[in-house]
Amino acid sequence: MLLHLPPEILTQVVLLLPLKSIVVCKQVNHYIRSLILDSVEIRYLVQLLLLELVENPHCSLSIHERLSILEKRNRSKGIDARLRKRIRIPFQKSGIYDLTGGIYLLGDATRTSLHYMHLPDKVDLSNDEEIEWRGKEVRMEHTIIDMGLNVYEHDLLAVITMCAQTALQRNLFDIRLHLYKVSTALPHPEAQRPVISVTQVEWDRPALGIEIVGNNLVLILAYSDNNHKPDDRMFIYDWKSGVLKMSFRAPYQTYSGLIFVTQDVFMTPNSNNATFEYWRVPKEQSDAPTRPFFILALPELCPEDNVGIDTIECRAEPNPTSSFRHSPKPFHPDPYHAIAIFNISIRSREFRIIHNIPHPIQLARQFFLFVHRSSLAECLDRFDNYISYHDDPSPVPYDDWGQDICRWIPADGYSSQWITKTSGQKCVLFPEMGHFGLNASSESITMLDFNQTEVARVLADWVDESDEKIIINEGQKLDDYGQCFLNDVYGQLRFKKCETAPSFIYSGVMMDEQRVIGTQVGDRVHCFYVKADSYTEFRVVGVKLFTMRDKLHWQTEAYPMFGRAMLETKSTPEDGKINIVVEVPKPRIIALSKTYSRVHKHTGKDDSPGMLVAVPRPTWKPTRT
């Protein structure tokens, strides 16, 4: 009976089928096979399903033009390393950055301006070797501490500033939220309150996590290495009306970021409990939850008191959205199937050894954890008996939820300054460079593709003939060496791995759905490990290389257990020595660990890691506090 239907009706029937069923239909007989292969609509649908993309109905391209673009993309094997363009940044950068929706955004060193530009598409590139920076600028009256973008859905830029206030003989800081339209750099016309006063805090420069989905803006405010251990804060706003829907406090260093699982559920990593917590977005303030309703546990850590999670950074791009109305592109990676990356820093059992003597400076191990957003959402159905809206829910053990859907990768050898490493189901990685200069060795850019349809296709019949190395990673056990986790950790999520030829020298890489950006260093300044033998005598232990400008005013904190240190220099003398002021409350060892990139993000300096090398003994000017 089915074969007697008109071809137009039969085509509509096939368009309602999932991908596997369409593949089966091609094998029924020659008539249906020809119908599928000759139908532009069916071929277009198959390509969308293969690449796990979603259509943008607001794009004006015809279905024939869309199909042509898709088929070219499907033949792409990874990174097109032959097409490289340089963008020279005409201003001094801070640690504020983002790459999403085709927009590359950077903060300047004054921390009062944001600069951003629409990066050109591949077809729009000229033959020039360098792309001129042509973008917009948002200037603020007060210090910018972070920002968030929602480009395709709302054309929205949210800027968070900090303003010092004096009240009742106390120094307080106003945290304010400013809402701008990306395309005009003017206050957003849909925001009834373009400037929202969020809260007042006693300590400056908090770390922020911000995500915008639909009308909901979630803001997490936290501190790192603060001896006063202020509470973390979580806020949820309806950004269009400016109404606060939820305000929540948590103990010090509990939260640092979040990922939207669906449009009305978000997940926050809890560093103190080593868990992923699911929160419901309230419809109004009276409906605001006071606790998560669902929890996933991470693998159990070693029982020693000194082993624990330092930080968890996370990202899944693109976010769930109801519309791509501000996008000119014909399709986008499906947000539901986007890969989530968690950059986890764990204090290990291992301590630093200097001159064969153990020192009380713990080494941190870095790990990447990958899991699809769809898998995180499906956990709510798989383990619905763990959901609790009225009492504290019991965590789902990692071995129950994570082994089949996760992948762990040791990240110690990779650059970890930027979390903007993923787009859709792809992730780009680059080795951490030991040093920069004439003798720096070139490295390969690595791209991981977690699209399981693509993995299966490569396993079946794809033989690559390009200069890229393509393999399928099926390993399961994490190489932890017993330094962080109590038991062996497994993850079975497979991925395709592509590597370019080793021809790049970058401090790190980031990506969006169309392009990979490699950042290169500029001027360098030395920043020392120092050992405080007393208040009046110091000796050099080693040096880290960082990317900074000649003029430098840098202030940071070491681990809380080692007290504070302030290093200050104005320039690098020709003799290679640096005048540095060091203030320490007690004679302890002070060192800069793997957490320096996070600290530098708050200082507003452009930094890049380097290798431990011997240096001339500097001139020291110690002062007692």
Q: 99-108: per-residue pLDDT in tens?
A: 998 899 999 9
Q: 54-81: per-residue pLDDT in tens?
A: 999 999 899 999 998 888 776 655 676 6
Cβ–Cβ < 8 Å for 13, 5 = yes
Confidence at residue 141, expressed as pLDDT on a 0 to 100 scale: 93
Q: Is the pLDDT of residue 404 over 50?
A: yes
Cβ–Cβ < 8 Å for 568, 579 = no
Confidence at residue 188, expressed as pLDDT on a 0 to 100 scale: 97
* 262/550: higher pLDDT: 262
pLDDT band at 356 (very low <50, low <70, confident <90, very high): low
* 438/378: higher pLDDT: 378
Token pair in block for residue 362: 């713990």
The whole-angstrom separation of Cα 577 and Cα 304 is 41
Query: Of 31-45, 317-331, 350-364, 495-509, which range is least confident?
Result: 350-364
Q: Is the pLDDT of residue 393 over 70?
A: yes
Estimate to the nearest angstrom the gap between the alpha carbon of 370 and the chain centroid: 12
Q: Across 37-41, 292-296, 468-472, which has the greatest mean pLDDT?
A: 292-296
Question: What separation in angstroms does the CA of 457 have from each of 22, 37, 338?
Answer: 16, 19, 19
Domains and CATH numbers, the chain: 2-75 (no CATH), 90-123+131-420 (2.130.10)
* Ordered alpha helix ranges (H), 187-340: none
Mean pLDDT of 236-244: 96
Q: Is the pLDDT of residue 525 over 60?
A: no
Cβ–Cβ < 8 Å for 86, 131 = yes
The whole-angstrom separation of Cα 274 and Cα 45 is 41
Mean pLDDT of 551-571: 32
Confidence at residue 56, expressed as pLDDT on a 0 to 100 scale: 92
* Ordered alpha helix ranges (H), 111-175: 151-154
Q: 433-469: per-residue pLDDT in tens?
A: 755 554 567 888 899 999 998 888 777 765 454 444 5
Q: Is the pLDDT of residue 431 over 50?
A: yes
The whole-angstrom separation of Cα 371 and Cα 214 is 23
* 402/122: higher pLDDT: 402
Confidence at residue 14, expressed as pLDDT on a 0 to 100 scale: 87
Q: Across 125-129, 170-174, 328-332, 528-532, which has the greatest mean pLDDT?
A: 328-332
Cβ–Cβ < 8 Å for 233, 199 = yes
Query: Which residue, 484, 478, 479, is CA-closest to 349?
Result: 484
Confidence at residue 71, expressed as pLDDT on a 0 to 100 scale: 81
The whole-angstrom separation of Cα 229 and Cα 404 is 37
Q: Is the pLDDT of residue 576 over 90?
A: no
Confidence at residue 94, expressed as pLDDT on a 0 to 100 scale: 85
pLDDT band at 363 (very low <50, low <70, confident <90, very high): confident
* 593/365: higher pLDDT: 365
Q: Is the pLDDT of residue 82 over 70?
A: no
Confidence at residue 578, expressed as pLDDT on a 0 to 100 scale: 35
Which of the 8 DSSP states describes residue 380? H
Confidence at residue 472, expressed as pLDDT on a 0 to 100 scale: 64
Mean pLDDT of 336-341: 96
Q: What percent of the chain lies above the pLDDT cut of 70? A: 74
Confidence at residue 303, expressed as pLDDT on a 0 to 100 scale: 87
Q: Is the pLDDT of residue 499 over 90?
A: no
- Judging by DSSP bridges, how do beta strands 516-519 and 508-511 pair with one another? antiparallel
Exposure on the CB side of residue 558, measured as CA atoms within 13 A: 26
**Residue keyed to tokens 């240190």:** 565
Q: Is the pLDDT of residue 571 over 70?
A: no
Average pLDDT, the chain: 78
The whole-angstrom separation of Cα 260 and Cα 220 is 13
**Residue 99 φ/ψ, nearest 5 degrees:** -140, 105
Mean pLDDT of 531-555: 29
pLDDT band at 591 (very low <50, low <70, confident <90, very high): very low
Mean pLDDT of 19-26: 86
